């Protein structure tokens, strides 16, 4: 239904509009990553990717 798409699009645009100040704040004032910080994030996220692949294989 077209009105559903328009309603969803309005919702997404509203979210983008209200998320912009948070993005600006964190990109300008947020703390910068130190050595080893990104590695500490990539490892659990890689585990999540592997876990989701495992779940997909379980339901196939």
Partner 1 sequence: MNQFDLSTARSQESVLETNKVLKNTYMLLSATLVFSAIMAAVSMAMAMPPMVYMISVIGAMVLGIFVLPRTANSSKGIGVIFLITGLMGFGLGAILTQYLALPKGPEIIGTAFGGTGIIFLGLSGYALTSKRNFSFMGGFLFAGMMVVLLAVLANLFMDLPALSLAISAGIILLMSGFILFDTSRIISGGETNYIMATYGLYLAIFNIFISLLHLLGAFSGDD
CB of 59 to partner 1, least distance (A): 4
CB of 3 to partner 1, least distance (A): 9
Q: Is 20 exposed, middle or buried, given 0-12, 13-18 or 19+ CB atoms closer than 10 A?
A: exposed
Q: What is the largest CA-CA distance in the chain?
A: 50
CB of 13 to partner 1, least distance (A): 7
CA–CA separation, 60 and 52 (whole Å): 12
Residues that bind partner 1 (CB under 8 A): 1, 4-5, 7-16, 18-20, 22-23, 25-27, 30-34, 37, 40-41, 44-45, 47-49, 51-52, 55-56, 58-60
């Amino acid at each position: 239904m077209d009105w559903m798409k328009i309603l969803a699009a309005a919702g997404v645009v509203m979210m983008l509009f209200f998320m912009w100040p948070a993005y600006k704040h964190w990109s300008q004032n947020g703390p910068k990553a130190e050595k080893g910080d990104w590695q500490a994030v990539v490892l659990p996220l890689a585990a999540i990717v592997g876990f989701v692949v495992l779940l997909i294989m379980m339901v196939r």
